[in-house]
Each structure stands twice: as structure tokens, then as C-alpha cells.
């Protein structure tokens, strides 16, 4: 019985170590395991995305880099893509989307939704 308890405790301690080691190891290896993703550049000028339509292949991860040339902040927002990212005036922000199924995924600028509209076409 004592042996079983000790074994149980031993296993739990190892599981505990594992729980916290996994994310740590994952982060530690990020720099060595960085995936290469296609990068697409979008600019914001006068409250509009350019290009406002982008086409990407299905089941592929893509890096979007958005540069805001306006003197007011803009937020890239897309429920379809599950992304909300602030882009400060005169700066840029990057994030990844996908892998996505074929279809159309809308996005907009939250601060100027009347003009800042766009779509990601996945084929």
C-alpha cells in the first residue's frame, strides 16, 4: 500500500512537471520551429485597406502585415477570421490567419467601417 502511494505521488509529481514543462519547452523551441508562412502586405490610407481583396490558398497559414499611414488608429476586425488587431498611426502590425477552408472571409476597420472594408478569398 505504501509502495502504491509512493508510486502515485511519484507519478503525480511527474505529471505536474510535465504540465508546466510542455508550454515552456514549446516556447523554447519556437525560434527553431518557426513555420514559414506566405506574407501579405496591406496598407491603410484615408480609412481604406489596399488591397481590399486578397486571395490565398485553402489550408495554408498566411501572415498579414498591415501598415497604417493615417494619423488616426485603426483596428483590423474580422469575426470570420477571429482577429481583432489595433494598428497605431504610422505603424504596422502583423498576425497570422489560417489554415482556412475555401470561402470568403470579410474584414473591416472598426474605426472607419464605412470605408475600410475588405475580404479574404480562400481558394
Partner 1 sequence: MPHAIKRLFCIGLLSFTPLIHAAEYLSGPADYIYSPIVEEGEREIDTKFGTQSPRNGDTTRQSGASIGFGYGVNSWWFTEIYGKAIWDGNTSQFDAVEWENKFQLTETGKYPVDIGFLIELERPQNRNEGYEAKYGFLLQSEWKKWQANLNLLMQGHYTGTENQGTYLGYQGQLKYRLQPEFEVGAQIYSWLGQVNSWNTDQQQQSSVGPAIFGKTKLGRKEAIKYNVAYLWGTTAASPRNTIRMQAEYEF
Q: How many residues does the chain have?
A: 123
* Binding of partner 1 by 36 (CB under 8 A): no
Stretches 46-54, 91-99, 115-123: which one binds partner 1 (CB under 8 A)? 91-99
* Binding of partner 1 by 104 (CB under 8 A): no
Taking CB under 8 A as the criterion, the residue among 27, 32, 36, 71 binding partner 1 is 27
Residue closer to partner 1, measured from CB, 41 or 111: 111
Size of the site for partner 1 (CB under 8 A): 36
Residue closer to partner 1, measured from CB, 50 or 88: 88
Taking CB under 8 A as the criterion, the residue among 43, 86, 92, 119 binding partner 1 is 86
User: How far apart, in whole angstroms, are the C-alpha atoms of residue 26 and residue 76?
Assistant: 28
- What is the DSSP code string of the chain? -HHHHHHHHHHHHHHHHHHHHHHHHHHHTTTTSPPP-EEEEEEEETTEEESSEEEE-TT--EEEEEEE-SSS-EEEEETTTTEEEEE-TT-EEEEEE----SEEEEEEETT-TTT-EEEEEE-
Residues that bind partner 1 (CB under 8 A): 9, 12-13, 16, 19-20, 23-24, 26-27, 30, 34-35, 37, 61, 63, 73, 75, 79, 82-86, 88, 93-98, 100-101, 110-111, 113
Amino acid at each position: 500500500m505504501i509502495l502504491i502511494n509512493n508510486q502515485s505521488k511519484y507519478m503525480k509529481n511527474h505529471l505536474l512537471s510535465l504540465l508546466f514543462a510542455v508550454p515552456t519547452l514549446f516556447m523554447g523551441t519556437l525560434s527553431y520551429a518557426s513555420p514559414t508562412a506566405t506574407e501579405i502586405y496591406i496598407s491603410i490610407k484615408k480609412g481604406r485597406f489596399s488591397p481590399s481583396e486578397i486571395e490565398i490558398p485553402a489550408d495554408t497559414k498566411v501572415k498579414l502585415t498591415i501598415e497604417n499611414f493615417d494619423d488616426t488608429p485603426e483596428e483590423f476586425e474580422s469575426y470570420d477570421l477571429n482577429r481583432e488587431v489595433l494598428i497605431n498611426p504610422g505603424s504596422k502590425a502583423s498576425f497570422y490567419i489560417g489554415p482556412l477552408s475555401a470561402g470568403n472571409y470579410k474584414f473591416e476597420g472598426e474605426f472607419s467601417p464605412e470605408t475600410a472594408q475588405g475580404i479574404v478569398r480562400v481558394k
